[in-house]
Amino acid sequence: VDVLIAQGQHKEALSALESYLPGLENNIRARQKFAELLWKVKGTDVALPYLKELVESAPDESGSLVLYAKMLNEKGDQDGAVIAAQKALKLLPTQAELHLLLGKIYGQRGQLDQALHHLSEAVRQSPGDVEAYLELGGVYRERREYLNALYVYQQAISLFPSDIRAYVQAASVLRETKDYAGAEAMLRKASQLAPDDLNVHRQLSAIIALNLIHHAQEVNVTS
C-alpha cells in the first residue's frame, strides 16, 4: 500500500488495503491509512463517518485526531476541527501541522493572539514549511505590526527564494507603509521568478505608477 501511495496510485492502494482490512480491525495505523485514502479517493463525505467511528473507538490516538481535525476543517466545521486539534496537541504537543491548522482557523476568526501563538509554534517546530511563514506574516500584518511581518517574509524569502508568495506579500506590506520603491523591488523579483503570472504583472504595473506619482510629488515639494 505504501509503495502504491508513493507512486500516486491512490485508488489501487485503497483497493489493496480494503481487501485486507477485515483482518486488520485492531490495527489503528492500517485503519488511519484507509481513512486517509478514502478521503483522497472518494472525498470528505465518504471518509468522515468512517474516521469519526475510528476516533470514537480510540479517542486517545493522536494520528486519528489529526486527520479528523483536517477533515472537519475541510467540511467547514471549524469548531469541531479546533476541538479535535486541541485534543491531539494535548497528546503530542510537537505537531507543526496542527499548530498551522489552528493558526489559520483563529486567523480567519480574527482571534489574532491565538493565531499568533499557534503559527509561531508552527514556524518553530517546522522551519521548512513556507506556509507557516506566510500565515504568520499575514497575522502580523493584520495586527499592523509591519516590521514583524516584513521580518517573517524576509525569513521566508531567505529560506524559499523561488516561492513568489513571500515577495508578493512583502510588497503588500511595503505598499501599506508607503514604501513604494521597496514594494516595486519585491514585485520585480516576483515577476522575474514567475514571468507568466498576470496577477504579479498587474500589481507591479500599479506599484510602478504609484511610485512615479509619489516621486513626482516629492520633487514638487522639494522644489
With a cut of 70, say whether residue 222 has pLDDT above it: no
Average pLDDT, integer, range 66-73:
96
Residue 23 is predicted with a pLDDT of 85
- Rg of the chain in Å (alpha carbons): 22
Q: Which of 54, 57, 85 shows the shortest CA–CA distance to 69? A: 85
**Each residue's pLDDT tens digit, 9-55:** 999 999 999 998 888 888 999 999 999 999 999 999 999 999 999 99
Cβ–Cβ under 8 Å, residues 166 and 156: yes
Residue 221 is predicted with a pLDDT of 55
Residue 206 is predicted with a pLDDT of 93
For 181, the 3-state DSSP assignment is helix
Quote the mean pLDDT of the chain.
Answer: 93
Q: Over pLDDT 90: what percentage of the chain?
A: 89
DSSP run (H or E) holding 215: helix 198-222
Average pLDDT, integer, range 115-141:
97
Residue 90 is predicted with a pLDDT of 95
- Grid coordinates standing for 86? 486541541
